[in-house]
Chains A and B, each alone.
Chain A
Amino acid sequence: MIAFWRALSKNRLALIGGAIVLVLALMAVAAPLVSPHDPHKPDVKRILESPSTRHWLGTDQIGRDVLSRMLYGARVSLAVGFVSVGIATAIGIALGAGAGYHGGPVDGAVMRLVDLMLVFPRFFLLLAVLAFLKPSIWTIMVVIGLTGWMGVARLVRAEFLALKEREFVIWSQSIGASAFRIIWRHILPNAMGPVLVAMTLGIPAAILTESGLSFLGLGVRPPYATWGNILNEGKEVIELAWWLSVYPGLAILVTVLSYNLLGEGIRDALDPRLRQSVGRFGGRGR
């Protein structure tokens, strides 16, 4: 653990990424305190104003403050990122642990399910599922989570396959511990490193996916502001108001970049050899 922190603290880029991640999270939590204006309050006298000292990032079509909307948008985007990755990780751990520990037909069934899910391009699958559901923030979180667990499942399975042959597992089996207890108390804690990395790299991927969906008008709907749907509204007036399109995009870019730097840093600090298995597609949504 000490070695881990020492390795991580030497990686300057990862630290910068981590600091930005932290600041973003704080600003999102404190959005009501730090936003200069009410994000939902229109002001018809100040429509599409360019950035000024009053409105740092300008105003939108109905005179709402873009900075405040982006701060509130950060809440939604980060919440979607965290919750959907939480869902994906929970499913991935449950299926991956079961498959890796029990092997045989369970393993076969789970891995075929993984293969089946991976056949569908994720964006097409998301759109198809969303077409059948009532749109809401919760739907988006659940759907992104349900289509993103395959990587974690494979990862956990691989860890379990290696760990279940180790002596401490065989000893626990010999004293009659239940499978659930062995998986939960003995093997899983040892397999959490790669899972943590996959989660850190999964959050930016989920944020990209959510903003892509919201940009198409199929994700989080107004009145909730997210970076994606500010961009969606902004593209209609891009020739008049560049600030509506430039800043939310930059916010997404910086956020995703920071999470990726942090995630890669954690991975290298845990074990440089993990490069092979985790995060091959880290941080890229579709």
Chain B
Amino acid sequence: MAPGDPVEIQQGDLNPLHQQSLQELRKLYGLDDPLHVQYWNWLKRIVLLDFGRSFAPHGRPVIHMIRERLPITLTLNVIEMLIIVAMAVPVGVTSATRQYSAFDKATTVFVFVGFATPDFWLAVMLQILFGVHMGWLPISGLRLPVWEYLPFWQQQWDFASHLILPITVATFGGLAGFSRYMRQSMLEVIRQDYVQSARAKGLPESVVIGKHALRNAMLPIVTVLGLSVPGLIGGSVIVETIFAIPGMGQLMVQSVYERDYPVIMANLVIVASLTLVANLIADLSYSLIDPRIRVSRRGRR
């Protein structure tokens, strides 16, 4: 099915083995079984979180490789998500309450450009601008090689400065999207009667918007936030590869280059599970924002 196979790549030019020993290796890895048998064996093992060993020369257990990388990707994505929400909510609310103002128009332009900007291109441009020409920020990795020998505060700054560019790139598109949804959702809510009546009973505008309107406008946003998790994780492929961050995305690209099937499949299983967990969290957090929704109520969709 696939061109080339891992055994050939592994033994490659360095160590030309006999056809017979190649065959033995294939047998060892189970590559000569029929596909459905290979798949069934694989399924039986992932239930036990046994993803097998990497096909790469080091042959490490896949689960160890993922254990090193998952926290990095997870941390980055959580930070990105927090930044997106922290910035998109005020921006969206402000453009909605001042529809057609200069601020609203400026954000609309940003939204369209943000949607259209290829993240890999933005990454390269920022690297060359801030990393090379101005020399302000590091452009790859997570830490300097001499990190261990730095004083404590410099260590913290070093780590943070390595994150600035990747996180900027990763949040750019999402920020554009979310400010748009937030604006849209807020515009719908502030036309409602209960917002009028909150104003009519003399509540200050900050309470009307910040409490009555915002809470209701946040509901669809939570849904979109949950749905956007796969997109955000998918974005880490590009960001981690360009900025040489040793996370799941970079691992995925490397293993595709090397046709390291156990690692590829394990990556896919893990990121899919992350999406499921994120959707579950989004569903559960409905009831926090909106007390009318109870988790136990059935068939609410």
Binding site for B on A (CB under 8 A): 118-125, 127-128, 130-134, 204, 208, 211-212, 215-218, 231, 235, 238-239, 242, 245-246, 248-249, 252-254, 256-257, 260-261, 275, 280-281, 283-284, 286
Q: Quick one: given A235-B124, A239-B132, are A249 and B235 in contact (CB under 8 Å)? A: no
Taking CB atoms, residues of chain A closer than 8 Å to B237 are 123-124, 127, 216, 286
Which B62-107 residues sit within 8 Å CB-CB of chain A?
none
Is the pair A131, B259 in contact by a Cβ cutoff of 8 Å?
A: yes
Taking CB atoms, residues of chain A closer than 8 Å to B113 are 253, 257
Of B209-217, B265-273, B289-297, which binds chain A?
A: B265-273
Taking CB atoms, residues of chain A closer than 8 Å to B177 are 281, 284
Tell me the bound Cα distance from A118 to B118 in angstroms: 22
CB-contact partner of A256 in B115, B253, B268, under 8 A = B115
Is the pair A257, B116 in contact by a Cβ cutoff of 8 Å?
A: yes
Tell me the bound Cα distance from A125 to B256 in angstroms: 11
Interface residues on chain B, size class: 35 or more
Is the pair B272, A119 in contact by a Cβ cutoff of 8 Å?
A: yes
- Would you give the 0/1 interface string for B102-134, flagging 1 where the beta carbon is closer than 8 Å to chain A? 000000000011011111110011001000100
Q: Name B's interface SS.
A: helix
B260 → chain A closest CB, angstroms: 9
Taking CB atoms, residues of chain A closer than 8 Å to B257 are 217-218
Tell me the bound Cα distance from A253 to B113 in angstroms: 8
Is the pair A131, B264 in contact by a Cβ cutoff of 8 Å?
A: yes
Tell me the bound Cα distance from A107 to B124 in angstroms: 44
Q: Name A's interface SS.
A: helix
Q: Quick one: given A123-B235, A281-B231, are A132 and B2 in contact (CB under 8 Å)? A: yes
Of all chain A residues, the one with the shortest Cβ separation from B118 is A252
Is the pair B272, A128 in contact by a Cβ cutoff of 8 Å?
A: no
Assess whether B276 is interfacial by the CB under 8 Å rule: yes
Count chain B CB atoms within 10 A of each CB in A130, A216, A252, A275 and give the residue with the most. A216
Assess whether B241 is interfacial by the CB under 8 Å rule: yes
Tell me the bound Cα distance from A260 to B108 in angstroms: 13
Q: Quick one: given A128-B265, A280-B224, A284-B173, are A118 and B116 in contact (CB under 8 Å)? A: no
Is the pair A212, B118 in contact by a Cβ cutoff of 8 Å?
A: yes
Taking CB atoms, residues of chain B closer than 8 Å to A238 are 124, 128, 132
Is the pair A245, B124 in contact by a Cβ cutoff of 8 Å?
A: yes
Count chain B CB atoms within 10 A of each CB in A131, A208, A261 and give the residue with the most. A131
Q: Quick one: given A245-B124, A275-B184, A284-B231, are A119 and B276 in contact (CB under 8 Å)? A: yes
CB-contact partner of B121 in A132, A253, A286, under 8 A = A253
A252 → chain B closest CB, angstroms: 5
B252 → chain A closest CB, angstroms: 6
Is the pair B128, A127 in contact by a Cβ cutoff of 8 Å?
A: no
Is the pair A120, B268 in contact by a Cβ cutoff of 8 Å?
A: yes
Tell me the bound Cα distance from A204 to B259 in angstroms: 29
A205 → chain B closest CB, angstroms: 10
Taking CB atoms, residues of chain B closer than 8 Å to A121 are 230-231, 233-234, 271-272, 275
CB-contact partner of B252 in A127, A260, A261, A281, under 8 A = A127
Tell me the bound Cα distance from A208 to B120 in angstroms: 10
Tell me the bound Cα distance from A254 to B252 in angstroms: 30
Taking CB atoms, residues of chain B closer than 8 Å to A286 are 230-231, 234-235, 237
Assess whether B261 is interfacial by the CB under 8 Å rule: yes
Tell me the bound Cα distance from A76 to B241 in angstroms: 24
Assess whether B151 is interfacial by the CB under 8 Å rule: no
Is the pair A242, B128 in contact by a Cβ cutoff of 8 Å?
A: yes
Of all chain B residues, the one with the shortest Cβ separation from A215 is B120
Q: Quick one: given A134-B3, A231-B121, A260-B115, are A120 and B275 in contact (CB under 8 Å)? A: yes
Tell me the bound Cα distance from A275 to B118 in angstroms: 24
Tell me the bound Cα distance from A124 to B248 in angstroms: 10
Taking CB atoms, residues of chain B closer than 8 Å to A122 are 230-231, 234
CB-contact partner of B234 in A123, A231, A248, A257, under 8 A = A123
A211 → chain B closest CB, angstroms: 6
Of all chain B residues, the one with the shortest Cβ separation from A17 is B112
Tell me the bound Cα distance from A280 to B264 in angstroms: 30
Is the pair B120, A231 in contact by a Cβ cutoff of 8 Å?
A: yes
Is the pair A208, B118 in contact by a Cβ cutoff of 8 Å?
A: yes
Of all chain A residues, the one with the shortest Cβ separation from B253 is A216
CB-contact partner of B116 in A130, A216, A231, A253, under 8 A = A253
Of all chain B residues, the one with the shortest Cβ separation from A201 is B115
B104 → chain A closest CB, angstroms: 15
Q: Quick one: given A123-B234, A216-B238, A239-B132, are A253 and B272 in contact (CB under 8 Å)? A: no
